[in-house]
Amino acid sequence: MTKENDRPIALVTGASRGLGAAMALELAATHHVVAVARTTGALEELDDRIQESGGQATLAPMDITNEGAMAQLCRSIFDRWGSVDIWVNTAVHAAPLAPAGHIDAKDWQKSVDVNVTAVARLIPFLSPLMPPEARAVFFDDPRGGEKFYGGYGATKAAQIALARSWQAETAKIGPHVHILTPAPMNTATRARFHPGEDRDTLTPARDEARRLMTLI
C-alpha cells in the first residue's frame, strides 16, 4: 500500500498544542503525521503550519480515552498505510495541584483514564502495526512524591512504569521504546502548575522538540 509521498507514518497522540504540536511539526519534515487530539480547531491550526512547511498530515479529532475510536483509528491506519513507523505519546491530563487528601474524584478518574488506561489500550492496539525498527516515544515527568502532585505524579509514574516494561520486553525484538525527560518548557501545562514562573527562563517547545528528536 502506497503512503503519501512514500513517507513513513508518525502517529502523535496529544498533538494539538505544546510539546505534541512541536513534535508533530518536527516529524512532518520527514513523515506523514497522523495527529490525534480532542480539539479540532487546534488540530486545524497545526495542519496549516505543517502544510506551510511543505509537510502533510491526517487529522484525527478523537479522545484517546474512547476505546472504540482508538480501535477504529488503528484499523484505519492499517487499512490505509499498513504500519506505524513512530508513535509519539504526549497526551496527558494535568489535574490541578491538590493535597493528597483533597484530590477531586473526577480529576483523579480522568488522570487515570488519560495517563494510564488509554496508554494500556494503545500499546496492544499499536504493537501489531509497528515493525521491529519502529519507535515509540514517551515523556517522563518525575513528579511522583512531590507535594500536591499526587494525582498527576502517581498516574504519570504509572504510565512510565508501563512504558518501561514494554521497553524491556521489546529490547531485542522491537519496536524501540524511548522514554525521554523534556526540559521545562513554556507550555500551557507548565503555566497551570507554576503560574508565577518567569516564562522567559523556559525552553520554547519547538526548540525542545528539536533536541528530543536527536535522541530518537
pLDDT one digit per residue (tens) for the chain, 216 residues: 345 558 999 999 999 999 999 999 999 999 999 999 999 999 999 999 999 999 999 999 999 999 999 999 999 999 999 999 999 999 999 999 999 999 999 999 999 999 999 999 999 999 999 999 999 999 999 888 899 999 999 999 999 999 999 999 999 999 999 999 999 999 988 888 888 889 999 999 999 999 999 999
CA separation for the pair 136, 125 (Å, rounded): 13
Q: How far, in whole angstroms, is CA 31 from its chain's centroid?
A: 16
Structure confidence at residue 2 (pLDDT): 40
Q: How many CA atoms lie within 13 A of 29 on its CB side?
A: 7
Decide: 22 and 48 in contact? Cβ < 8 Å.
Answer: no
Prediction pTM value:
0.94
477531586: which residue's cell?
A: 104
Question: In terms of CATH architecture, what is 4-209?
Answer: 3-Layer(aba) Sandwich (3.40)
Edge-first strand listing for the sheet containing 32-37: 56-61, 32-37, 9-13, 86-89, 135-139, 176-180
Structure confidence at residue 6 (pLDDT): 84
CA separation for the pair 167, 161 (Å, rounded): 10
Decide: 62 and 73 in contact? Cβ < 8 Å.
Answer: yes
Structure confidence at residue 5 (pLDDT): 55
DSSP 98: B
